[in-house]
């Protein structure tokens, strides 16, 4: 479907100014902010997408790491994996357009299977979710009989189906601490597994974490030298890191937490200057929502998340291609749902 350009100039200008009001404080790239002209280019798409959403009875859920023109231009709800999964569960519209990566769209399908779930970026992967298969989990379980499996939400539906409890970066530390077993299997983030062990040790809890998988190609790049450089250049800066970072990076940061955790940390802090060792999209969100604070971002973008654009969102909403539609077997949905529901129970 080709975009029918809106011809009402007044409407287009109004939309461009609406976008500029939201995005004017947001960086497009390092040191370059959104301009009114950028918003004028985005406006025909945001108008068309918002109109089409109503016609098709669709909602758009966008992860905070996707581009800000999606988050602020067309999304009905945006947030981190946990918030989006809770939201997906309660969607009553016929269609969920999920701007994110494949495992997240699968999670929406698992939690609300009667809806059509469409992901604009098609098979946008994730280096964590792609690091382990359900067969790998079965082998781990066979090698460690009786040891419960915790899977990070950044995992495929098949891996979730083989796991006992799904976890997020926001709740994994408490869930791991509260489980009675002395040994836990954790997949697929090897760095987060080390961070869990370190956190349990700090709490005085002796527990062995058996892990397998890989790492996030964005967060595993940060080093303690990045933090030293930030502190040298910006005295007094508060440095935030995600638990997908290396343990030595987490140890050197002022705050370690999930996407929501970092947002809450900024909201509660009287400080004005923050270093964000995380994906650029979260920096954009913080810039948009805390205009009186400054965020220094060394580097780090997720190429998978950035595959969701206004153009493919419009196309996916108009006429989705088979590779954009999430389809899962009822058996996988039922088993994966159990691990997610266990997480919701254990997070209460």
Q: Which residues of this chain interact with ligand SF4, rule CB under 6 A?
A: 65, 101, 126-128, 154, 216-218, 279, 302, 304-305
Pick the closer one to ligand SF4 by CB: 127 or 171: 127
DSSP, residue by residue, 163-195: -SEEE-TTTHHHHHHHS--SEEEEESBHHHHHH
Q: Please confirm whether the linkage preceding 96 is cis (ω < 30° from 0).
A: no
Pick the closer one to ligand SF4 by CB: 73 or 213: 213
In whole angstroms, the minimum distance from the beta carbon of 304 to ligand SF4 comes to 5
273-277 β-sheet, strand order: 255-256, 238-241, 273-277, 294-296
Size of the chain in residues:
348
In whole angstroms, the minimum distance from the beta carbon of 119 to ligand SF4 comes to 12
Are the beta carbons of 251 and 319 closer than 8 angstroms? no
d(CA 285, CA 6): 28
Pick the closer one to ligand SF4 by CB: 16 or 262: 262
Are the beta carbons of 158 and 335 closer than 8 angstroms? no
Of 157, 108, 138, give the one whose Cα is nearest residue 149. Answer: 138
> Looking at residue 244, what DSSP letter applies?
T
Pick the closer one to ligand SF4 by CB: 295 or 304: 304
Q: Give 111's contacts (C-beta < 8 A, 6+ positions apart).
A: 85, 88, 89, 337, 340
Pick the closer one to ligand SF4 by CB: 259 or 324: 259
In whole angstroms, the minimum distance from the beta carbon of 130 to ligand SF4 comes to 9
In whole angstroms, the minimum distance from the beta carbon of 279 to ligand SF4 comes to 5
In whole angstroms, the minimum distance from the beta carbon of 232 to ligand SF4 comes to 27
Pick the closer one to ligand SF4 by CB: 199 or 279: 279
In whole angstroms, the minimum distance from the beta carbon of 306 to ligand SF4 comes to 9
């Amino acid at each position: 479907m080709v975009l029918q350009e809106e011809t009402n100039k007044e409407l287009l200008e109004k939309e461009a100014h609406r976008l500029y009001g939201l995005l004017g404080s947001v960086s497009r790239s390092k040191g370059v902010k959104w301009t009114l002209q950028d918003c004028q280019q985005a406006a025909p798409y945001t108008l068309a997408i918002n109109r089409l959403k109503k016609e098709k009875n669709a909602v758009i859920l966008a992860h905070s790491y996707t581009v800000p023109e999606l988050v602020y231009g067309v999304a009905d709800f945006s947030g981190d994996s946990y918030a989006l999964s809770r939201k997906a569960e309660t969607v009553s519209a016929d269609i969920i357009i999920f701007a994110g990566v494949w495992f997240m769209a699968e999670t929406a399908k698992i939690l609300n299977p009667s809806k059509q779930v469409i992901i604009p970026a098609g098979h946008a992967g994730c280096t964590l979710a792609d690091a382990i298969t359900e067969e790998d989990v079965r082998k781990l379980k066979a090698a460690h009989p009786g040891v419960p499996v915790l899977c990070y939400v950044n995992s495929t539906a098949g891996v979730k189906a083989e796991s006992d409890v799904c976890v997020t970066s926001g709740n994994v530390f408490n869930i791991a601490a509260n489980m009675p077993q002395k040994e836990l299997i954790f997949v697929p983030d090897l760095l987060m597994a080390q961070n869990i062990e370190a956190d349990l040790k700090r709490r005085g809890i002796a527990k062995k974490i058996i892990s397998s998988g890989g790492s996030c190609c964005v967060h595993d790049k940060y080093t303690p030298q990045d933090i030293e450089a930030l502190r040298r250049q910006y005295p007094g800066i508060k440095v935030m890191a995600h638990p997908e970072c290396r343990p030595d990076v987490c140890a050197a940061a002022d705050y370690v937490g999930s996407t929501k955790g970092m947002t809450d940390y900024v909201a509660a802090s009287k400080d004005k200057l923050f270093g964000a060792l995380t994906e650029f999209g979260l920096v954009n969100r913080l810039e948009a929502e805390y205009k009186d604070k400054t965020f220094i971002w060394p580097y780090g973008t997720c190429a998978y998340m950035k595959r969701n654009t206004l153009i493919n969102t419009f196309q996916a909403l108009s006429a989705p291609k088979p590779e954009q539609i999430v389809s899962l077997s009822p058996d996988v949905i039922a088993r994966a749902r159990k691990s997610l529901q266990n997480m919701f129970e254990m997070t209460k």
